[in-house]
Amino acid sequence: MSAIMGYRPVVGGIEFVVKNVLTGKPIHVVYDVSEAQVDAYFGGAYVQDAFPTLNVDERELLVSGLTGPEFDALSGRVSRSANYPDPDDTTHWDCDDGGVDDEGVDHFA
């Protein structure tokens, strides 16, 4: 399972577009990972094996589409990532209509 709607290489790593399962809106994040790691993930590698440098909250976003605080609220988990960005802070999250929309249109193409 993956919440990744699209991705592309950018300066600093890979920009992912992930569908937030609670709001339905896309979330844009840039993680310092390689295209080879993305290929491994989509080739069947477990997220923790494909992206060992990402923290648990970053990996959860790619898998489920939930931010760390959202996952914590739904599961009762105490976040293990003290520096996870606030989902309401738009300097970290871009929740506009960019990326791939609900109809499957890839806005990166």
Q: Which domain holds residue 49?
A: 1-109
Question: In order along the chain (109 residues), what is the average pLDDT of each group of 10 residues?
Answer: 90 94 91 96 95 93 89 71 50 46 52
Among 52, 78, 47, smallest CA distance to 65 is for 47
pTM for the structure as a whole: 0.69
Report which secondary-structure segment, H or E, holds 15: strand 13-19
- pLDDT value at residue 34: 97
Structural domain tally of the chain? 1
- pLDDT value at residue 102: 52
- pLDDT value at residue 92: 43
Q: At what angle do helices 68-75 and 56-64 cross, to 10 degrees?
A: 80
- According to DSSP, residue 79 is labeled P
